[in-house]
Amino acid sequence: MAKTIEKPVTEEQTPAAPATLMFRDLVYTSRTLVVPETDRTYPVAKGLVAVPESDKEAVAFLQKSAEYAAQEG
């Protein structure tokens, strides 16, 4: 009977978490952000909203809006 050899999980095998961008809400500490012309929403909690870097519409909206500022770090 053949033995199965188990390989240890490496970083290469672990799926990468999607890159997330953080923006500070300059007006409200809690609300729901509705991305214009889409059905997508993101919660604002404690004055911060996290959006996936892959959501180009949300990122563009947040970068243009005077109500949000990109959060470093």
User: Residues 31-73: pLDDT tens digits?
Assistant: 999 999 999 999 999 999 999 999 999 999 999 999 999 998 6
| Pairing verdict, β 31-34 and 41-44 | antiparallel
How much is the pTM? 0.74
- Structure confidence by residue, pLDDT tens digits, 2-24: 667 776 666 566 666 679 999 99
Element (H, E) at 59: helix 56-64
In this structure, the number of other CB atoms found within 10 A of the CB of residue 51 comes to: 21
What is the structure's pLDDT at 72?
Answer: 82
Distances in Å between the alpha carbon of 42 and those of 1, 2, 17?
Answer: 53, 51, 18
In this structure, the number of other CB atoms found within 10 A of the CB of residue 65 comes to: 15
